[in-house]
Amino acid sequence: MNTLCLLGLDDSHLVPLTEPGHRLQAEAKQAFMAMQAAAAKAGLQLMPASSFRSFERQLAIWNGKFDGTRPLLDAYSQPIETHSLTDAERVNAILRWSALPGTSRHHWGTDLDIYDPSLLPQDAKLKLEPWEYEQEGYFYPLSQWLAHNMARFGFYLPFAQHNRGVAVEPWHLSYRPLSAQCATQLTPALVAQTLKEQQISGKAHILNQLDTIFVRYITED
Contact 191, 8 (CB under 8 A): no
Q: What is the residue-wise DSSP string for 34-77? A: HHHHHHHHTT---EEEE----HHHHHHHHHHHHHTSS--B-TTS
pLDDT tens digits, one per residue of 20-61: 999 999 999 999 999 999 999 999 999 999 999 999 999 999
Numbers of helices and strands, H then E, in the chain: 9, 6
pLDDT mean across residues, the chain: 93
The confidence score (pLDDT) of residue 168 equals 87
pLDDT tens digits, one per residue of 74-127: 777 788 887 788 999 999 999 988 999 999 999 999 999 999 999 999 999 999
Distance of CA 139 to the CA centre of its chain: 18
The mean pLDDT of 1-13, rounded to a whole number, is 96
pLDDT tens digits, one per residue of 155-164: 999 988 765 6
Distance of CA 192 to the CA centre of its chain: 20
Phi, psi angle pair for 28, to nearest 5°: -65, -35
Give me the half-sphere count of Cα atoms (radius 13 Å) on the Cβ side of residue 5.
17
Over 70: is that where the pLDDT of 187 sits? yes
Q: How confident is the model at residue 221 (pLDDT cuts 50, 70, 90)?
A: low
Indicate left, alpha or beta for 35 from its phi (over 0: left) and psi (-120 to 50: alpha): alpha
The confidence score (pLDDT) of residue 197 equals 94
Residue ranges per structural domain of the chain: 3-218
Residues 80 and 138: their CA atoms lie apart, in Å, by 26
- In the chain, the amino acid numbered 178 is L
Over 90: is that where the pLDDT of 205 sits? yes
Over 90: is that where the pLDDT of 72 sits? no
Over 70: is that where the pLDDT of 145 sits? yes
Residues 88 and 48: their CA atoms lie apart, in Å, by 33
Q: What fold, for 3-218?
A: Muramoyl-pentapeptide Carboxypeptidase; domain 2 (3.30.1380)
Phi, psi angle pair for 113, to nearest 5°: -95, 140
Q: Which of 108, 95, 8 is nearest to 58 (CA)?
A: 8
Alpha helices of the chain — where are they, by DSSP H? 3-6, 26-41, 55-67, 87-97, 140-149, 176-185, 188-195, 203-208, 210-213
